[in-house]
């Protein structure tokens, strides 16, 4: 077995583990949602639909990676790039949020590029990087919310 082949298996294992982690993190995340009425419920609803699209695209990319389907990877990555570009204008959060969003977009662009070039190893790494950035932003948002409610 060549080294490259071995590396692919390691990557595939990591990708699958992080995919599982994302699903679990997302479950815990939805359960954690505060039940109280929020004044900007409509915006929250839009954000929810928006994020669900990100989750869908992310799943599509994982499917593309596991079946070596570069078109599926590029398709999902393109959706992520477009969504994060729209987000920058849509969300009026603070500088930090925009920074998270910008970094996520850059990673999604790298993923798109790797998918288009059929570089599956690089695409796998970029997908993991993008997934970590989903989680990092969520962690930041939750932290900011706790800080807000303590005021
Ligand atoms: C720049 C910040 C940011 C990034 C990056 C980000 N999210 Fe989110 N996400 C949010 C915010 C803000 C919410 C809403 C938080 C809340 O209401 O608790 C959210 C909520 C969600 C939700 C819950 C939606 C619901 O039904 O309420 C899902 C699912 C989700 N994100 C998936 C993803 C995925 C998958 C990615 C990466 C591919 C991602 N997000 C990247 C900021 C981000």
Asked whether 78 lines ligand 1 (CB < 6 A), one says no
Maximum Cα interatomic distance, the chain, rounded to a whole number of Å: 59
User: What angle (nearest 5°) sits at the alpha carbon of residue 71, between those of residues 118 and 116?
Assistant: 40
User: Are 103 and 88 a contacting pair, CB within 8 Å?
Assistant: no
26 in contact with ligand 1, CB cutoff 6 A: yes
Mean pLDDT is lowest, of 28-32, 140-144, 147-151, for: 28-32
Q: What is the whole-number distance in angstroms between the Cα of residue 4 and the centre of ligand 1? A: 34
Give yes or no for residue 134 CB within 6 A of ligand 1.
yes
So what's the pLDDT on residue 39?
53
Residue 133 CB less than 6 A away from ligand 1: yes
Span 60-116, pLDDT tens digits: 999 999 999 999 999 999 999 999 888 765 555 678 888 899 999 999 999 999 999
The residue among 83, 101, 105 whose CA lies nearest residue 92 is: 101
Q: Which fold is adopted by the domain 3-26+38-149?
A: 1.20.120
Q: Where are the domains of the chain?
A: 3-26+38-149
Give the residue, out of 19, 54, 108, with the most ligand 1 atoms within 8 A of its beta carbon, to mutate for a pocket test. Answer: 54
CB 55 less than 6 A from any atom of ligand 1? yes
């Amino acid at each position: 077995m060549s080294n490259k082949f071995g590396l692919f298996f390691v990557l595939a294992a990591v990708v699958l583990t992080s995919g599982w982690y994302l699903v679990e993190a997302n479950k815990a995340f939805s359960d954690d949602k505060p039940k109280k009425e929020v004044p900007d419920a409509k915006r929250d609803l839009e954000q929810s639909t928006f994020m669900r699209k990100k989750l869908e695209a992310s799943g599509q990319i994982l499917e593309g990676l596991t079946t070596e389907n570069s078109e599926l990877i590029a398709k999902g990555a393109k959706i992520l790039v477009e969504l994060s570009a729209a987000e920058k204008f849509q969300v009026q959060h603070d500088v930090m949020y925009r920074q998270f969003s910008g970094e996520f977009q850059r990673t999604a662009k790298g993923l798109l590029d790797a998918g288009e070039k059929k570089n599956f190893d690089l695409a796998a790494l970029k997908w993991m990087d993008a997934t970590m950035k989903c989680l990092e932003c969520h962690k930041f948002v939750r932290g900011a919310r706790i800080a807000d409610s303590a005021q």
